[in-house]
Structure 1
Amino acid sequence: MRRPLYGWLVSEAVSLTGTRISMVALPWLVLTTTGSATRTGLVALAEMLPLVVLKVLGGPVIDRLGARRVAITCDLLSVVAVGAIPLLHESGWLPFPLFLLLVAVAGGLRGPGDAAKAALTPALVTEAGVPLERATGLHSTVERTASLLGAAAAGGLVALVGAADALVVDALSFGVSAAVLAWSTSTLARPAAAVVDQPPAAYATRLREGWSHLRGDRILLGIAIMVSLTNLLDLANAAVLVPVWAKATTGSAATVGLLFATFGGAAAIGAVCASAWADRLPRYRTYLLAFLICGAPRYVVLALDVPLWTVLAVCAASGFASGFINPILGAVMYERIPDALVGRVTSLSTAMGFALMPFGGLLGGLLVAGLGLSPALLITGAAYFAVTMLPAVDRRWREIDRRPAREPAAVSA
């Protein structure tokens, strides 16, 4: 039955769209009410730090209580945490320390909530009877489309109703997400490991088991490290390098939006194609080819004096190729993680992916200030190439071409 899979995708679409709205509305609310860039940075830190920490610490809880229960609970609590911000702001009872606390709570809930939704993937695939690449490809499509539409909607919404009221939409999106997920997955079986009557191991022991599995699997650990480093470089590009390039070439912020929209739209199309074809493609060669196209060329073309249409063409090709990466890597990860450890290992690996992101803007700023824009772009592109092409010289990465038959590991809840 595919109702759980489709319901999960709809739930994610609603939640991710709301989250993208808050990514615009929160900093804009701080800037318009305080005028302080420092406080805006503190808000970003207050959201990201608990998100990463609780994503790591929430893994054992997800495996013990069940991913579905944790995901729905976090979404419902997020309605309260996010909804309190515009409510208290309108009433004049929102001092900045309380605002930081609410943002931290909201970020902390997103960590285990997002990890729990990701941990549902193996059970959803088993229930729907579809290839892993199909589910991860569809999720990647939803994620990229929601990012594109959510960012576009955020600008209009903030301009129309204000940043505080735009957060009401984010709060409601969590409620809708929880309702859809609860309804669509009500018949979803729980993994056998989650319902076997065994004495619970100590929390630290369960957390250590997840880390031991991640550290002991060279492919899983390699994926986590690679994603962490590419996220760092991508954020340096998005937060600093592209805006500086646009200011120097066209002098318009609209150019930044055009580049990101071109890349994001092409990535969504690529993810749709991956959901249809990736289960029949050789993973290893597809991975290398996709990163060859979507990695360094984006940085090199910005460093050269070329027409805007050339830059957009490279962005479109890069975006389309990038759409194949997450479905492949996601399928590989879920195949290599035992059902009993899905929550812990996916929480740890995604937390590693987020860990360096707060430093991306700092890295980009230091490179531009110290070397200039073109050298900064070329160095970042070279680093991207080195990080993503390591599997070309490590033969063990060829293991990702193996597609083991996944045993049905679910029993009636």
Structure 2
Amino acid sequence: MVAPGALRVRRPFITLLAANALSVTGNILSILAVPWFVLETTGSAVLTGVASFATTFPTVISAAFGGSIVDRLGFRAASVLSDLASGLIVLAVPVLFLTTGLSYPLLLVLLFLRWLAATPGETARKAMLPDLSTAAGVRIERATSAYDGVYRGAAMVGAPLAGVLILWLGPSMLLLVDGVTFLLSATLIAAGVPRVRRGRREPGGYLDGLRAGLTFLWGDRLQLSATTMIVVVNLLDTGVTQVLLALYAREVAGDPRAFGLLTGALGAGAVAGTIVYGTAGGRLPMRLTYGWAFLMAGVPRVLVLAMGAPFPVALAVTAVSGFAAGAINPILAILQYGRIPAPLRARVIGAMTAAAYAGMPLGGLAAGALTEVVGLGPTLFAFTCVYLLISLPPFVGRAWRELDRSQRADA
């Protein structure tokens, strides 16, 4: 039983995790509802890919300048304002659709603004984590695993829920639920998380903040390699999640619940993987763990769809891939918190996020266009090959040997 005093000390940390779970749930609902909404109203894979572009391109812009915005507003204020803006914009989509009507160009504008507003909140919550975990007496390995586990758990619950709600309510009404989750997240952070001291803020404007973050990242070969891997995988994941899985659910499975179940199975496996890594991660070789996790997280789950395996087999393989993915984000977070100076944390994380998101707008466009030309199966095979190639650096790259040396030094 946890003592009341200990619970009081840990309450802000727990509140941060709960608010992030709500915000992530909103993102997952939106990621599943929007492509199905576009497919339902237009029937076009290309227009679905364009909607994916409108969803992902603003995150690159927002992440690029988000670190400096967070620095100026403060972590808590940035998180609250980001979620409030995201929630209100998301609510506008079903309200307009059900009243005056919603044209496709206006939908693209709203999607652009919604994701433009969302990223600073994500950066702010991530930047708060080390200080709140230290105040709560939680080791950084467990804190990063808990943070990622909550993220994965929200995806695990939100994705199947979205599939069911699409059938029950329709994609437009699902976006109403999405908007409410952001408003609840903003309320939790505003009421339950104290201001986090950020140390001395570096002078300069928004471009100076982005430049400082990118300069630091460029000088750290290990984090640069890790970020490059994430750039490519985010591009692939965007194409898979926002276009190819929706097409698979409609054309192969014939049921939107397949879309939600596959995404949920990935999240369920990742929750289990995150728990295991949070418990035993300190005893595992970090470099090889990261390499094998990266390889298994991408290749099998897309290959099994490309091969046309029965849906239960695809679901099981996806869950195994999710389990492997559970170690990736905690290891990345440990790298960030251990190597980035506290005054630069928001700027460097913002720059890394911007870099990591840079390929995402192309993922949906590439998936939609390639599917129109060669079909769903060959597109899935092509994505599998790229997943395989981008998983190799931890096994062969020199910069990754530094991870072994730093882990031995900490032992």
TM range (shorter): 0.7 to 0.9
Amino acid at match of 2:356: G
8 Å CA contact retained: 1:154, 1:166: yes
CA–CA separation in structure 2 for the residues paired with 1:21 and 1:377? 23
Q: Kindly report which structure 2 residues correspond to 1:284-363, keeping only aligned pairs within 5 A, or say none.
A: 284-301=287-304, 311-363=314-366
Q: Deviations over 1:354-387 (max 9, x none)?
A: 2212323454566667778777655543432332
Q: Compare 300-309 and 389-398 and name the one that shifted more.
A: 300-309
**How far 1:392 sits from its partner (Å)?**
1.8
Paired position in structure 2 for 1:218: 221
Q: Deviations over 1:244-271 (max 9, x none)?
A: 7789987777666554443332122111
Correspondence for 2:200 among 170, 193, 198: 193
Q: Kindly report which structure 2 residues correspond to 1:8-407, keeping only aligned pairs within 5 A, or say none.
A: 8-30=16-38, 40-92=48-100, 94=102, 97-186=105-194, 188-194=195-201, 200-238=203-241, 258-301=261-304, 311-364=314-367, 380-401=383-404, 402=406
**How far 1:100 sits from its partner (Å)?**
3.6
Q: Compare 20-29 and 34-43 and name the one that shifted more.
A: 34-43
Q: Evaluate the alpha carbon distance shift between residue 342 and residue 99 of structure 1 in structure 2; reply closer, same or farther with a 3 A threshold.
A: same
**How far 1:58 sits from its partner (Å)?**
1.7
Amino acid at match of 2:278: S
Q: Deviations over 1:369-412 (max 9, x none)?
A: 77787776555434323322212222331323426999xxxxxx
Paired position in structure 1 for 2:4: none
Q: Evaluate the alpha carbon distance shift between residue 204 and residue 359 of structure 1 in structure 2; reply closer, same or farther with a 3 A threshold.
A: closer
CA–CA separation in structure 1 for the residues paired with 2:154 and 2:285? 28
Q: Evaluate the alpha carbon distance shift between residue 38 and residue 307 of structure 1 in structure 2; reply closer, same or farther with a 3 A threshold.
A: closer
CA–CA separation in structure 2 for the residues paired with 1:34 and 1:242? 17
Q: Deviations over 1:319-372 (max 9, x none)?
A: 212111111112112211111111111112122222212323454566667778
Paired position in structure 2 for 1:411: none
CA–CA separation in structure 2 for the residues paired with 1:248 and 1:101? 28
CA–CA separation in structure 2 for the residues paired with 1:373 and 1:31? 15
CA–CA separation in structure 2 for the residues paired with 1:29 and 1:368? 19
CA–CA separation in structure 1 for the residues paired with 2:274 and 2:247? 29
Q: Deviations over 1:24-75 (max 9, x none)?
A: 3334445555666665544433332222211111211212332221111111
CA–CA separation in structure 2 for the residues paired with 1:213 and 1:400? 18
CA–CA separation in structure 1 for the residues paired with 2:232 and 2:375? 22
Q: Deviations over 1:295-322 (max 9, x none)?
A: 4344555566877665555433322121
**How far 1:78 sits from its partner (Å)?**
2.4
8 Å CA contact retained: 2:67, 2:347: yes
Could you state the TM-score of these two structures normalised by the residue count of structure 1?
0.83
Q: Evaluate the alpha carbon distance shift between residue 238 and residue 90 of structure 1 in structure 2; reply closer, same or farther with a 3 A threshold.
A: closer
3-state SS of paired residue (1:192): coil
CA–CA separation in structure 1 for the residues paired with 2:58 and 2:385? 32
Amino acid at match of 1:353: A
**How far 1:290 sits from its partner (Å)?**
2.1
**How far 1:138 sits from its partner (Å)?**
1.4
Amino acid at match of 1:62: V
Q: Deviations over 1:215-260 (max 9, x none)?
A: 1111111111100112223344446666777899877776665544
CA–CA separation in structure 2 for the residues paired with 1:38 and 1:96? 13
Q: Evaluate the alpha carbon distance shift between residue 297 and residue 39 of structure 1 in structure 2; reply closer, same or farther with a 3 A threshold.
A: closer
8 Å CA contact retained: 2:273, 2:323: yes
Q: Evaluate the alpha carbon distance shift between residue 313 and residue 351 of structure 1 in structure 2; reply closer, same or farther with a 3 A threshold.
A: same
Amino acid at match of 1:296: V
Q: Evaluate the alpha carbon distance shift between residue 80 and residue 369 of structure 1 in structure 2; reply closer, same or farther with a 3 A threshold.
A: closer
Amino acid at match of 1:228: V
8 Å CA contact retained: 1:134, 1:279: no
Q: How many residues align?
A: 401
For structure 2, the residue ranges without an aligned partner over 5 or more in a row are 1-8
8 Å CA contact retained: 2:45, 2:368: no
Could you state the TM-score of these two structures normalised by the residue count of structure 2?
0.84
